[in-house]
Amino acid sequence: MSTQNGSNSALLRVQNLKKHFPVGSGFLSRNKAMLKAVDGINFEIETGKTYGLVGESGCGKSTTAKLILHLEEPTEGTFFFEGQDATEFNREGMRNYKASVQAVFQDPWASLNPRMRVGGIIGEPLEVNSTMTKGAIKSRVGDLLEEVGLQQYQANLFPHEFSGGQRQRIGVARALALNPKLIILDEPVSALDVSIRAQIMNLLEDLQDEHNLTYLLIAHHLATVRYMCDKVGVMYLGRIVEEAETEELYDNPLHPYTRALMSAALPSHPDIDREEIILTGEVPSPVNPPEGCHFHPRCPSRFEPCEDNAPVESHPVPDHRVVCHLY
Amino acid sequence: MTTSDERIGEVVLEVKDLRTYFVTRWGVVKAVDGVNFNIRRGETLGIVGESGSGKSVTTLSIMRLVPSPPGHIVGGQVLLEGEDILTLDEGEMEQVRGSRIGMVLQDPMTALNPVFDIEDQVGEALKIHKGLGGQALKDTVIDMLRKVRIPAPDVRIKDYPHQLSGGMRQRVVGAIGISCDPVVLIADEPTTSLDATIQAQYLRLLRELQESTGVGIIFITHDFGIVAKMCDRVAVMYAGKIVEQGDVRQIFNNPSHPYTEALIQSVPKMEETEERLYSIPGQPPALWDLPQGCSFAPRCRYSFDKCLEEFPPDFAVDQGQHAACWLRESEGAALGVAASD
């Protein structure tokens, strides 16, 4: 296991992470096309903070989550958890890692086993990963249910007996069971009713304060990300094109793609009339991304170098990185 | 957008005291329970509500597409250019659907038939309602696809739905919706499955279509952002009833029903960083087990004794704005059902 330098407070440090999937026809063909779902991303999350990854569908944000959960193995690159290389864990190290990193998923209808009682769903990670007795697990499940705003007796019910918001609370309780350090939130509120979203977001904030939890939030809704996150990375076709502290990013977006995303976001009041930067076309396929800057065919500010040369990262403002030829 | 400009014309659709009930084994579910609104030429009305609020059943009732049994339209009128379409027989109703009232549904993947090409699907309504055929039909279809900005429409008409991206599919569904030049277009959450930049393209397209055809749009949504961007007027639904209705600025600047106010406060804003969102406690009630009195009272931070006993009538708050809340009793006279337009 290698220990790495870098800032000491980073709980998770992702370094040049790549995930390429082979696609295409013919099992005998040698030159398989590669779908570059994640194509060399770097970011750090500090303990107790929330990092947001935003982007449209197909940008690679969910694949990133899967890589960090070890549900997919990276093609290249690595990530460090508490300074240790997470791709080189031994059995014991992996066991600890998987207990320390948990996830809450988008769809509370699909992510809970309909044939298990809620107590079993929340208690399962404890059964598998700890030496607790049945009685101890039962009382821990009761505590967890109360912590997420449900009641102890509800451990005996089945998922279908709950509403969407309550099911998401069950998902959160399950994620908390093993006292994790990092929780990956993959679109945790987008499947919920509007009046319920704020409840779940506030619950997640409270739990973070109480347990010093670190969150990686995967989302497409810019306002949700602004409310929840300390730092945000914007992804486009497998790459992080811009990253900054939340306030800085929203007040001073630099990359033309970030600007277009923000201009397309819905206003919170009818009098807000943002100038819309309408992007032409749709996100190109990650199998055959455009040469040069991936964004150039849709970019309103493209100029000569964009077509041929991939831009490199720059820091026009301290702690604000952007990958664009304009800077 | 403003409501006072001259693009808004006469009332084209008027819904009066509409009631649609479902008979279930838990009892009678009043999915739509006395709903009133109207829509003018060139105007966009947003119907906002959560799942189960009755917003989709309202539009299905207008189209007379409520599955029956268990659903029944038990009362009210739907006046399309003055004619009550609830009294039409099924054959006459078929002349209305897809022709005078167009519809754009939420999920473009299920709204399109996977085994027919785009030409067949966009052409179907034109064939039935306008009697077009042959080259004339094909030309009209191409023209429709051009209107919704499908690139190379003369080639694309031979494509099947799976060959199109999500945004393009939704535009095809839009083309079907407007193909017969409807007076009213019902758009039921048409952009929820789309990405933000594609959503922006689509909303702009709908607005341009409205400007060129004067179609009145009913926009069903749960998203106040869409309301802020697209709508002239807003009706907020909760548990089968419209609890507040008004001009879009009245609703945002002076929400008069606690539910409207709470909903707006519970949505994070992209324009500023908030410390803590207001969150509405509890969850929407089951429609077969509504509380006595105001349905929102158990979740309402202002509720008092009267709210738990008696359902409030509509009270006028401002010109064109009314709310069904006892808090507004002192401000305005109770509106009768007929007076709410």
Tell me the pLDDT tens digit for each residue of A263-293.
Answer: 988 888 988 888 888 777 777 777 888 888 9
Which residue ranges make up each domain of chain B? 11-100+182-278, 110-179
Whether the per-residue pLDDT at A28 is higher than 70: the answer is no
CA distance A239 to A254: 16
Nearest-by-CA chain B residue for A189: B267
User: Residues A195-214: what's their mean pLDDT?
Assistant: 92
Whether the per-residue pLDDT at B263 is higher than 70: the answer is yes
How much is the pLDDT for B335? 54
Cα R_g (chain A), whole angstroms:
21
CB contact under 8 A, A226 and B266: no
How much is the pLDDT for B332? 58
CB contact under 8 A, B270 and A268: yes
The architecture of the domain spanning A10-323 is 3-Layer(aba) Sandwich (3.40)
Please list every residue in chain B whose beta carbon sits closer than 8 Å to the beta carbon of residue A57: 195
pLDDT band at A27 (very low <50, low <70, confident <90, very high): low
User: Residues A154-174: what's their mean pLDDT?
Assistant: 91
Of B19, B92, B6, B89, the C-alpha closest to B61 is: B19
Angle at B58 between CA B52 and CA B64, to 5 degrees: 125
The set of residues, in sequence order, having a beta carbon less than 8 Å from that of A103 and lying 6+ positions away, is A65, A69, A175, A183, A184, A185, A186
3-state DSSP assignment of residue B19: strand
Query: Do A35 and A23 meet the contact criterion of CB atoms below 8 Å apart?
Result: yes
The per-residue pLDDT of chain A, averaged, comes to 89
How much is the pLDDT for A113? 92
The set of residues, in sequence order, having a beta carbon less than 8 Å from that of B20 and lying 6+ positions away, is B31, B32, B54, B57, B58, B60, B61, B66, B71, B72, B73, B74
Which residue ranges make up each domain of chain A? 10-323
The 10s digit of each residue's pLDDT in A97-137 is 999 999 998 888 888 999 999 999 999 999 988 888 999 99
Query: Do A38 and A19 meet the contact criterion of CB atoms below 8 Å apart?
Result: yes
CB contact under 8 A, A282 and B271: no
CB contact under 8 A, A202 and B279: yes
The 10s digit of each residue's pLDDT in B100-138 is 998 888 777 778 888 999 899 888 888 888 888 889 899
pLDDT band at A239 (very low <50, low <70, confident <90, very high): very high
B279 close contact with A: CB closer than 8 A: yes
CB contact under 8 A, A194 and B50: yes
Task: Please tell me what DSSP assigns to residue B235.
Answer: E
Query: Do A10 and A45 meet the contact criterion of CB atoms below 8 Å apart?
Result: yes
Sheet containing strand A50-54, strands side by side: A101-104, A182-186, A214-219, A50-54, A231-236, A239-245, A320-323, A313-317
CATH for B11-100+182-278, options being 3.40.50.11030, 3.40.50.300, 3.90.870.10, 1.10.730.10: 3.40.50.300
Query: Do B72 and B19 meet the contact criterion of CB atoms below 8 Å apart?
Result: no
Of A136, A208, A127, the C-alpha closest to A172 is: A208
How much is the pLDDT for B2? 44
CA distance B45 to B216: 8
How much is the pLDDT for A3? 42
Nearest-by-CA chain B residue for A280: B201
Whether the per-residue pLDDT at B52 is higher than 70: the answer is yes
What is the ipTM score, two decimals? 0.81
- Name which of A193, A202, A270 is nearest B249 (Cβ-Cβ): A270
Q: Which residue has the higher pLDDT, B2 or A209?
A: A209
- Whether the CA torsion B205, B209, B211, B215 is positive or negative: it is negative
Nearest-by-CA chain B residue for A246: B273
CB contact under 8 A, B277 and A57: no
Please spell the DSSP secondary structure of A138-162, one letter per residue. Answer: HHHHHHHHHHTT--GGGGGS-GGGS
The 10s digit of each residue's pLDDT in B8-40 is 788 999 999 999 999 888 888 899 999 999 999
Angle between helices A194-211 and B258-265 (to 10 degrees): 50
- Whether the CA torsion A78, A79, A80, A81 is positive or negative: it is negative
B193 close contact with A: CB closer than 8 A: no
How much is the pLDDT for B170? 83
Bridge partners (DSSP) of residue A41 are A17
